[in-house]
Amino acid sequence: MNAALFALPLLLATSAPRTPVLVELFTSEGCSSCPSADHALARLAEKQPVEGVELIALGFHVDYWDYLGWKDPYGAPEYGERQRRYAQDGDENRVYTPQMVVDGTRSFVGGEDEARAQAAVAAKRAKVPLRLSARVEGDTVVVRVRTETAPAQGLQLWTALAEDGLSSDVKRGENAGRKLSHAAVVRTLATLPAPKAEEGGFVSEARMKLGAGWKREKLRAVAVLQAPNGPVSGVAAVGLASP
């Protein structure tokens, strides 16, 4: 009996919720410096090495290196534009790959050690809890986000679908001849409408179309509450629920 009572505080401590922190990586298959950062992002997402922190990873593949001879199959202009907005509002005023941004406030050359250090700092800031669900309806994912109170003025909700376990055999460009692996690759983005009062809280919902060839079992939905191009106030991730 005494042993059981002694163990109770330990059990409670180990079940304490972790603080979610967003780690974005701007990367490209056309960049010879990027594979190591891609591996770092995958390790961060898999190992979760920061105590008390849930690292939520997103890999944004940019397309501005495609001219070097290899078109990144996961790249999109809007991801490079997102990176440029960070640069315009930050203190570096430049874009490069591989670049990591932690919780929308601290950017650096993508690497595991610096990401861990910055995530530990970011986790000290209070977060708005987001209750996130994502269900599949045919070829559409319905993403639903609930907050207990209305988000502060100036904050925006956005969502992404990210896929793990992707790879490419690169034929040309700086990484020609290499097989590159990726985790948390952003497949699509959407801005959620302003949450409306519902069910004793505030709810926002978006519908996102699934692309051909996307592996549903490898997809996650991520929701982010963020000042435009600035600090992340809340973030959550969840797998897709079956119909």
In a domain, 177, yes or no: yes
Within the chain, strands assigned E span: 19-27, 53-61, 99-102, 106-109, 131-137, 140-147, 156-163, 166-169, 179-182, 185-191, 196-198, 201-209, 219-226, 232-239
Instruction: Give the Cα separation of 4 and 140 in Å (integer).
Output: 48
Strands of 156-163's sheet in order across: 106-109, 99-102, 19-27, 53-61, 185-191, 156-163, 219-226, 232-239
| Sole residue written with tokens 């790959």 | 97
- pTM, to two decimals: 0.92
In a domain, 100, yes or no: yes
- List the one residue out of 55, 239, 77, 230 whose CA is nearest residue 158: 230
Residue 138 corresponds to which amino acid? G
In a domain, 1, yes or no: no
pLDDT tens per residue across span 91-140: 567 899 999 999 999 889 999 999 999 999 999 999 999 999 999 999 99
In a domain, 4, yes or no: no
Instruction: Give the Cα separation of 155 and 221 in Å (integer).
Output: 19
Number of independent structural domains in the chain: 1
| Sole residue written with tokens 């610096």 | 114
Instruction: Give the Cα separation of 240 and 243 in Å (integer).
Output: 9
Q: What is the reported pLDDT for 140?
A: 97
Strands 53-61 and 19-27: parallel
In a domain, 6, yes or no: no
In a domain, 197, yes or no: yes
Q: Map residue 35 onto helix, strand or coil.
A: helix
Running DSSP on this structure, what letter comes out for residue 241?
B
Confidence band of 199 (pLDDT split at 50, 70, 90) = confident
In a domain, 11, yes or no: no
Instruction: Give the Cα separation of 147 and 239 in Å (integer).
Output: 19
Check pLDDT > 50 for residue 13: no
- List the one residue out of 218, 195, 206 whose CA is nearest residue 160: 206
Least confident of 6-10, 51-55, 211-215, 237-241: 6-10
Instruction: Give the Cα separation of 92 and 109 in Å (integer).
Output: 12
- Of all residues in the chain, what percent carry a pLDDT higher than 70? 91
In a domain, 194, yes or no: yes
Contact 102, 118 (CB under 8 A): yes
Domain with 233, as residue range(s), is: 16-239
- Residue ranges in 59-161 assigned as alpha helix (H): 77-89, 112-122
Question: What is the average pLDDT value for the chain, to the nearest integer?
Answer: 92
> Tell me, what CATH number does 45's domain have?
2.60.40.10
